[in-house]
């Protein structure tokens, strides 16, 4: 599915969020890179926006961006070639449920809009923790259902009606953008995700809400 929409992925992200998705990634990157000189991992890098945000914090000496969707990696490589910061990002084909790295390889591990798509969420979180060095941070940026009563209904109408229509118009794949809101509804609430992060061994787990509660950033320490 992500391969089918890769050619319009960045454009749709910008349109759906009013351009705010990049600001959210920058916040997530700053929270992930708590110290300087880190080697960072961006799991499910897509078109490498979070990988670039990690580099641009000035704290990551290098970033590995991993994904298993070849069309996304192709677009990511082209984007990196156009950006000065791209020389510090290395792309790797791999599976988030079986990360091809030894334990404790990275000073921080981050993901953006990945977790809802994992076939085994617990295994994915455990893998992220496994490859993070002790004391390093695991950070996940995700879409969430807002809790403000009036806004919640408005957001749901937008997400379930406007987004599939817009996705069909822009990407030619309405099904992919029908899946998106359904995946959010089926996903754990922020409190449940935080609890699962603790269960896989992450400490000091915290949740930050952005975008009127439509986005969360989960942070845990390995």
pLDDT at 120: 97
Split at pLDDT 50, 70, 90, the class of 56 is very high
Alpha carbon of 132 to those of 8, 165, 222: distances in Å?
Answer: 32, 40, 6
pLDDT-derived band at 157, boundaries 50, 70, 90: confident
The pLDDT of residue 184 is: 84
Predicted local confidence at residue 164, as pLDDT: 83
Average pLDDT over residues 152-181: 86
Between 76 and 176, the more confident residue is: 76
Q: Give the percent of the chain with pLDDT over 70.
A: 100
Per-residue confidence (pLDDT) for residue 68, from 0 to 100: 95
Report the distance separating Cα 92 and Cα 64, nearest Å: 7
| Chain position carrying tokens 């641009």 | 56
- DSSP summary character for residue 8: G
Average pLDDT value over all residues in the chain: 93
- Residue 74 predicted with pLDDT over 80: yes
Interval 46-56 mean pLDDT: 96
Residue with tokens 């089918």: 4
Q: Domains of the chain: which residue ranges? A: 2-145+188-221
Contacts of 16 (CB under 8 A, 6+ apart): 163, 166
The CATH superfamily of 2-145+188-221 is Vaccinia Virus protein VP39 (3.40.50.150)
Which residue has better confidence, 148 or 206?
A: 206
Closest CA to 16 of 182, 148, 214, 218: 214
pLDDT of 57 reads 94
pLDDT at 85 over 90: no
So what's the pLDDT on residue 152? Answer: 84
Give pLDDT, residue 11.
85
Closest CA to 28 of 219, 200, 222: 219
With cut-offs at 50, 70 and 90, classify the pLDDT of residue 109: very high
Residue 181 has pLDDT above 80, yes or no: no
Q: Note the pLDDT tens digit of each residue in 17-27.
A: 888 999 999 99
Q: Is residue 179's pLDDT more than 80? A: no
What proportion of the chain, given as a percentage, has pLDDT over 90?
69
C-alpha to C-alpha distance for 58 and 96, rounded to whole angstroms: 25
């Amino acid at each position: 599915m992500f391969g089918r929409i890769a050619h319009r992925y960045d454009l749709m992200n910008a349109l759906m969020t009013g351009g705010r998705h990049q600001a959210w990634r920058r916040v997530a990157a700053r929270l992930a890179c708590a110290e300087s000189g880190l080697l960072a991992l961006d799991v499910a890098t897509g078109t490498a926006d979070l990988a670039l945000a990690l580099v641009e914090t000035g704290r990551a000496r290098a970033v590995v961006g991993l994904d298993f969707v070849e069309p996304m990696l192709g677009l990511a490589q082209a984007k990196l070639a156009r950006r000065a910061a791209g020389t510090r990002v290395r792309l790797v084909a791999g599976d988030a449920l079986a990360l091809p790295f030894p334990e404790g390889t990275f000073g921080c591990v981050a993901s953006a809009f990945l977790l809802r798509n994992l076939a085994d969420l617990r295994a994915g979180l455990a893998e992220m923790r496994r490859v993070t060095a002790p004391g390093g941070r695991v950070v996940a940026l995700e879409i969430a259902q807002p809790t403000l009563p009036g806004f919640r209904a408005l957001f749901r109408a937008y997400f379930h009606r406007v987004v599939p229509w817009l996705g069909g118009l822009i990407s030619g794949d309405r099904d992919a953008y029908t899946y998106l809101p359904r995946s959010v509804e089926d996903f754990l609430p922020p409190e449940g995700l935080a609890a699962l992060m603790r269960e896989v061994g992450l400490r000091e787990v915290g949740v930050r809400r952005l975008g009127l509660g439509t986005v969360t950033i989960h942070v845990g320490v390995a």
